[in-house]
Amino acid sequence: MLQHLPVLPLLIPLLTGVLLLLPPLSDSLPRQRWMGALSALLQLAVAITLLREVHTQGTLVYAVGEWQPPFGIVLVADRLAALLVLLTAFLLLCVQLFSCADEDQKGRFLHPLLMFQALGIQGAFITGDLFNLFVFFEILLIASYALLIHGGGAQKTLANVHYVALNLAGSALFLFALGIMYGTFGTLNMADMQQRAARIEADDLYLAKAGAMLLLVVFGLKSAMTPLHFWLPRAYAAAPAPVAALFAIMTKVGVYSLWRVHGTIFGADAGALANVAQPWLWPLAWLTLVVGIIATLASQTLRALTANLVIVSVGSLLLMVALDSREATAGGLYYLVHSTLATALMFLLAGLIIRQRGKAEDRFVQARPVSQPILLGTLFFLAALALIGMPPVSGFIGKALMLKAALVGERALIIWPPILVGSLAALIMLSRTGGTLFWRIRGENSDPIRVHPSQQVAVWLLVITLPLMVVFAGTITGYAGLAAEDLRRGLQLPQLAPAPALVLETGGDDNA
């Protein structure tokens, strides 16, 4: 069983998703909830086992169908992939529990779609093949199209039209890039590409560069890099709370792909192709941060505010990708985990606040109080601390690590101000939000709406991780450092033997 460990994070959500669509489960919501929760727990257990295996034994390579690496598709679980799979599985569990309260009654197929979304995200993290990455992108996208519109409504439809159109155009660009890559490299296996990058012939050099830049556009679109980020606030603000929480990790898939492709394949050892995206990544990452900060200050609802904070966090992460050092990658990885959990928590809280606040939803206006001000207020305070990056919870360490990584030469001059101003903007806006939502109140709230027990569990699970990430900061940063080294070294496939010579049987043999 253990030898099949890397493929389990794909098989379990796939099979669960299919089972959820079949008769014994499809006609009963309680059974779907149990099955979904059990499957999420199982995935979490598998992800933890995978992480431990990878940490003790090094990178696990799984050749699907025993086709050898340069020809077949491989799944590669290194420390980075294992950590992100664990993060996804944990997030899926929280989202699954949260949606059991009432969200899954607003439309059909929420549970199977969540499974397929998890399949796409985990697959994107664990694959070692560029075309396979495209396929998993499409799986996570088509699940997200349907999830975004879950429950229906004009607002969601409008956001979805933009989201779908942009991503379909992005997929077309991705395929163009893949065609160029295959035409110039002769392979789409990431480890193989990394070895061949330095040996690209001069004729193909500009084609390969064009392909790399196309991939930058594609991953930029996925991760909401500045000129390509306009879809994000509307889509995330319109999505149902648990879906938005799961989407918190989708932008990180783009950042991860940038690390894998532009950090490793086109990394420092790529000869003439080394760091092709670097000159573009710098200004774009910086601009993303600045635009995110401005948008944060202009937000009108809690959901829009959180969505804009996602852009700010993506900007910081892109800066870490652009910095391209061991410290930057490790710090970025810690911050990535933290910001995913913190934004997911804030999206879930926004869902709870909307439920209790009635018509005013989460707009920053005077309205009736929420029915459980102490519980929601405390949770909001903790989430806000994490998002701002204040000491008792994990945001502080993440930001400190990133600032420390940027402390090289003159680069600190351009990296420090936007990251610090981003924290200030978050501080201003989140204090204003908390003040408005919980203190600027009018009238009484006599609604019996309470936070559902399963929602409580989901939210507290996320809250607990924030201090835990501080308590175990040493362990996590140590692990992140090793993961960064793994990433920078690239995927080393042990079986990557020189291709056996193809014997072309032509002429004589055919006639015989």
Partner 1 sequence: MEFTFAMSVGVLTTAGIYLMLRAQTFPMIVGLTLLSYAVNLFLFASGRLTVNGAAIVGSSQHYADPLPQALVLTAIVIGFAMTAFVLILAVRARSDLGNDQVDGRQLPEQRSTLGDALAVKMEQKQSRKSDNGKRKQP
- Binding residues for partner 1, rule: CB under 8 A, are 131, 135, 138, 142, 145-146, 149, 152-154, 157-158, 160-162, 164-165, 168-169, 171-172, 175-176, 178-180, 182-183, 188, 502-506, 509-510
- For partner 1, the closer CB: 21 or 449: 21
Tell me if 255 sits within 8 A of 310, measured CB to CB.
no
Residue 324 CB partners (closer than 8 Å, separation 6+)? 263, 267, 268, 275, 278
CA–CA gap between residue 317 and residue 258 (Å, rounded):
10
Nearby residues of 43 by Cβ (< 8 Å), 6 or more positions away? 9, 12, 13, 89, 92, 93, 118, 122
Q: Which is nearer to partner 1, 103 or 129 (CB)?
A: 129
Beta bridge partner(s), residue 63 = 74
Strand ranges for 104-189 from DSSP E: none
Smallest gap from residue 288 Cβ to partner 1 (A)? 24
Q: Cβ 153 to partner 1, closest distance in Å?
A: 8
Comparing CB distances to partner 1, the nearer of 10 and 342 is 10
* Minimum CB distance to partner 1 smaller for 184 or for 257: 184
Closer by beta carbon to partner 1, 21 or else 427: 21
State the minimum distance, in angstroms, from the CB of residue 160 to partner 1. 6
The whole-angstrom separation of Cα 300 and Cα 306 is 11
Give the residue with the Cβ less far from partner 1, 162 or 404. 162
Q: Where are the extended beta strands (E) located within 71-211? A: 74-77
Tokens, residue 233: 């606030």
Q: Quick one: CA dihedral 264, 265, 271, 277, positive or negative?
A: negative
CB of 146 to partner 1, least distance (A): 8
- What are the Cα distances from residue 139, in Å, to 57, 84, 86, 383, 496? 30, 17, 19, 31, 28
Closest distance to partner 1 from the beta carbon of 180 (Å): 7
| Shortest distance, position 205 Cβ to partner 1, whole Å | 17
| Positive/negative CA dihedral, 463, 466, 467, 472 | positive
Residue with smaller CB distance to partner 1, 168 or 298: 168
CA 190 vs. chain centroid, Å, equals: 20
Of 180 and 462, which CB lies nearer to partner 1 in the complex structure? Answer: 180
Torsion angle, CA of 73/74/80/83, rounded to 10 degrees? 100
Q: Which of 322, 475, 287 is nearest to 411 (CA)?
A: 322
d(CA 314, CA 224): 7
Shortest Å, Cβ 73 to partner 1: 11
Q: Which is nearer to partner 1, 180 or 281 (CB)?
A: 180
| Residue whose CB is less far from partner 1, 164 or 491 | 164
Q: Strand pairing partners for 350?
A: none
Minimum distance from residue 273 beta carbon to partner 1 (Å)? 18
Q: What are the two backbone dihedrals, phi and then psi, of residue 71, each rounded to the nearest 5 degrees?
A: -100, -45
How far is it, in rounded angstroms, from Cα 199 to Cα 104? 53
Closer residue to partner 1, CB minimum distance, 165 or 408: 165
Which long-range contacts (C-beta less than 8 Å, at least 24 apart) are formed by 382-386?
382/463, 382/466, 383/342, 383/345, 383/346, 383/349, 383/463, 384/346, 384/430, 384/431, 384/433, 384/434, 386/338, 386/341, 386/342, 386/345, 386/466
As a whole number of angstroms, the distance between CA 61 and CA 70 comes to 12
> Least Å distance between CB 154 and partner 1?
5
> What minimum distance in Å lies between the beta carbon of 233 and partner 1?
15
Q: Which residues of 323-346 are buried (b: 16+ CB within 10 A; e: fewer)?
A: bbeebbbbbbbbbbbbbbbbbbbb
Q: Give least dist CB 161 to partner 1, A.
A: 5
Quickly tell me which residue has 């431990």 as its tokens.
Answer: 52
Q: Tell me which H or E stretch contains 62.
A: strand 60-63
- Of 413 and 502, nearer to partner 1 (C-beta) is 502
Residue 428 CB, nearest approach to partner 1 (Å): 31
